[in-house]
Amino acid sequence: MALRLGDTAPDFTQDSTDGSIRFHEWAGDSWVVLFSHPADFTPVCTTELGEVARLKPEFDKRNTKTIGLSVDALDEHKQWIGDIEATQGCALNFPLLADSDRSVSELYDMIHPNADATSTVRSVFVIDPAKKVRLTLTYPASTGRDFTELLRVIDSLQLTDGYKVATPVNWRDGDDVIIVPSLDNEQAKELFPNGWDEKRPYLRVTPQPNKSR
Instruction: Give me the active site residues, please.
Output: 45
Nearest-Å Rg of the Cα atoms of the chain is 19
Q: From CA 165, how far away is CA 186, in angstroms rounded? A: 15
- CA trace torsion 80, 83, 84, 87 (10° rounding): -160
**Helix 147-162 × helix 43-54 angle, to 10°:** 50
Among residues 49, 31, 32, the alpha carbon closest in space to that of 40 is found at 49
